[in-house]
Amino acid sequence: MTAEPELKVAQRQAIHASGWGQPFRFLQPHNLAFWVYLLGVGGGTLTMLQYFSSGAEFYSSALTGGIVLFGLYLVPWLLLLRHQNRFTAQPASLLATGFIWGGIAATFWIALPANNALLAIWTKVGGTSFAQNWAAGLTAPINEEFSKAIGLVLLIGLAPRLVRSAYDGFIIGAYIGLGFQVFEDVLYVYNGATQVYGVDQLGSSLKMFLIRGAAGIVSHALFSAIFCAGLMWILGRSGERKLLRGVLTMLAAMVFHGAWDDMGGLSNGSALRSIVFPFLIALIELSALFYVLRHAASQERSWIRELLAPEVEAGIVDPPLLDAVSGLRADRKKYRKLLRDRARARHTVEAASDLAREIAKADGADTRRVDHARAELRRLRGA
């Protein structure tokens, strides 16, 4: 017997470390995480139905408008996150499980009652004026970020081999946060209609959609992506434990969340501050987001390189293509310039990603699907 080549050994190690290609199975009756998840979603569903049932008939136009508008708002978000989920990609079923936790369990089972309780405490402690300016920012970052992160912990329990890296936390956290964001926005639409006693419900729904939709660009999906990446750094499940970075990342997400919720207190009645601060905070948040994304992806990029290294040696993938598949936006842009054909470059990178996915599913073996992916890549490269 001959020893397995070193590159193939490293390839298998990368596949096993990342968990890429592993299926996600939600129904796990012998797993405690499964029952806690069901408890949270079931409790959140009951709370949601109780919340809306009393006025659902009278405010049906607002509720329907909110659901339709934010349902449409969800589409570009899903396309964006699908594009980001491109390294050792997570199964859609797992991401949907996270989305449902964020929308139902985190929003209605935990955050809604917890926020009401803590807001009442801040009012008693600091008075009405203090609570109006600062209570929201001292409440939501604690209750909401941890309620969403519980979903990530449960998914680790349900899929320990799939949820491994800080990048996994980033992507899953974004989906959980997006679920929270969309369901909370519908809640805001409903509450806005009740505050004006149902007058011009469609108009109030559209107004709330424009306000919440614009703010949503730097809202819960961003907060949770950063927060959950930090949590994964602390847990160090893939051997990349970075305790200080993880703590600071989680705190940064909470600070960003608090700054948005306490924008009135930070502006202190100044019209100029109320205009400048949202843009300034958004700029800082997006800079932090890309910083976290870049560092969180480093482990995944390393796995991709190790997974495709035997294909490079065999001439199926060339080094510039490997850089594009495992790299960041600048690497893909460099590859497009090299080919001088944007469409061909995009299709070739996608084909290389498909090959990596099939190799992971086959645990490094040569299967019919792997051979087909290789043939498609050769065709695109003209090799």
Q: Which residue stretches of the chain have pLDDT < 50?
A: 1-2
Q: Report domain extents, the chain.
A: 24-296, 315-382
Exposure string over 82-93, b if 16+ CB within 10 A, otherwise e: eeebebbbbbee
- Determine the pLDDT at residue 275: 86
Q: What is the pLDDT of residue 2?
A: 47
What are the pLDDT digits (tens) for 43-101?
999 999 999 988 878 889 999 999 999 999 999 999 999 988 888 889 999 999 999 99
Q: pLDDT at position 291, please?
A: 95
Residue whose tokens read 């202190």: 268
- Report the predicted TM-score, pTM, of the whole model to 2 decimal places: 0.94
121-132 per-position pLDDT tens digit? 999 998 988 988
Q: Which string of DSSP letters, residue by residue, matches 2-68?
A: PPPPHHHHHHHHHHHHH-TT-------TT-HHHHHHHHHHHHHHHHHHHHHHTTTTTTHHHHHHHHH
Asked whether 380 and 341 are in contact (CB, 8 A), the reply is no
Q: Look at residue 281 in the predicted model and tell me its pLDDT.
A: 93
CA 11-15-16 angle, 5° bins: 120
- In the 3-class helix/strand/coil scheme, how is 295-307 assigned residue by residue? HHHHHHHHHHHHH
pLDDT at 251: 97
Any idea which residue has 């989305």 for tokens?
A: 99
Residue 383: the pLDDT is 58
Closest CA to 95 of 27, 163, 34: 163
CB 231 within 8 A of CB 250: yes
